[in-house]
Amino acid sequence: MPTALAPVLAEFLGGAAASLVASHLLTSRLERLGGRFSLSEALLGLVTALAADSPEITSSVSAMQSGRHTIGISVVLGSNVFNIAALLGLGAIVAGRVHLHRDVVALEGIVAAAVAAVAVAVAAEALPATVGLGLCLLVVAGYALAIGLGSRRLRRAPLPRKVVAFLDEAACDECLEIGPPETAPAGTPAWQDGGLAALALVVVVVASVLMERTGVSLGARAHLPAVVTGGLVLAAVTSLPNAVAAVYLARRGRGAAVLSEAMNSNALNVTAGLLVPGVLVGLGALGEQAVTVAAWYAGLTVAVLSVAFLFRGINRAVGVGIVAAYAVFVALLLA
């Protein structure tokens, strides 16, 4: 290894390790705070998904702010492809099967497919980032509201009865497989968990910026295209916190939690990591490769959700197929 390359690689790996440790600490402390303030499990899942997505979102924002738009969008969309492979594919391989209720798959699928379609349209420049952000916020906010209201409030909502019944059943089935949140030891003040969460978030942000800068440097020295640096290298390393959590949940048989984490993570990535900075600093000319990454993300999302709905889950063979599809995606980008 060239002497000049070793320090850059060490910084990149150090940033990845710090991000992984800090993300785990951030997620656990947010879970404790959610238990203290009686947040619903569904809303707590959204919050923890956002926390675990901090590396992807921060790396994307850092790249776009520096004018590296292709890397920025590739980190987000490449992370989403990796999430499907690592969270659902690898989770099914390790656990043997991820069991899912059809109504849960349908609810998560509607949101996931809508957000993926917006991502493809924005990447292809068929839809302005401002309009895409408005649509995604509408979808994500509607989902959070529907699963956060609770059965009693949901029944009073001005919605058709069939819609209310579907949302109620899906939310109940989703919560059946979610275990109790981690609780703080007796006597631990709330400010301590809040302070540690804030500190961990700062570490995640700093480590993610460091990974983005050093990753770009390593990619340039290795003569890698920007879409490969963002869509493969940075996308995979920034998604590790999500992958670790999902495999853990899958081994405990909490299929709905795994699917919810994967789909919520991807929706938040697109909304906060792609469209928000796209509106603030612009997306630039993305090119065909960015559209290709977006199309793979959308196509794999629809395919996996369709299989999960049809067979009421994802077995080990399907998990192998999902990972193989990701391998094809990697080969196409490298080619």
pLDDT tens-place string over residues 127-179: 999 999 999 999 888 777 776 655 555 566 666 666 656 666 666 655 555 55
Higher pLDDT, 125 or 65: 125
Q: Is residue 66 part of a domain?
A: yes
Assess whether pLDDT exceeds 60 at residue 239.
yes
Choose among 41, 13, 54, 14: nearest CA to 200. Answer: 54
**Residues 71, 273 contacting (CB under 8 angstroms):** no
pLDDT in tens, 72-124: 778 888 889 988 988 888 888 888 888 888 888 888 888 999 999 999 999 88
190-194, 325-329, 330-334: which is most confident: 325-329
Q: Give pLDDT, residue 327.
A: 92
Q: Is residue 288 part of a domain?
A: yes
Three-point CA angle 223, 224, 226, nearest 5°? 125
Q: Give pLDDT, residue 46.
A: 57
Q: What range does the domain containing 325 cover?
A: 5-180+191-334
Range from 45-49, 62-66, 209-213, 249-253 carrying the lowest mean pLDDT? 45-49
pLDDT in tens, 283-305: 766 667 778 888 999 999 999 99
Assess whether pLDDT exceeds 60 at residue 125.
yes
Q: Give pLDDT, residue 72.
A: 77
CATH number of 274's domain? 1.20.1420.30
Q: Is residue 75 part of a domain?
A: yes
Q: What is the mean pLDDT of residues 61-75?
A: 76
Number of domains in the chain: 1
What is the value of pTM for the model shown? 0.77
Q: Give pLDDT, residue 304.
A: 93
- 48 falls in which pLDDT band (50, 70, 90)? low
Q: Is residue 217 part of a domain?
A: yes
Q: Is residue 185 part of a domain?
A: no
Q: Give pLDDT, residue 224.
A: 77
Q: Is residue 186 part of a domain?
A: no
Q: Give pLDDT, residue 297.
A: 92
Phi, psi (deg, nearest 5) at residue 97: -165, 140
Q: Give pLDDT, residue 300.
A: 94
Three-point CA angle 132, 133, 137, nearest 5°? 120
For the chain, counts of helices (H) and of strands (E): 17, 2
Range from 19-33, 37-51, 156-170, 280-294 carrying the lowest mean pLDDT? 37-51
CB count, 10 Å around CB of 323? Answer: 17
Choose among 277, 323, 273, 238: nearest CA to 331. Answer: 323
Q: Give pLDDT, residue 134.
A: 94
d(CA 330, CA 328): 5
Name the average pLDDT for the chain: 77
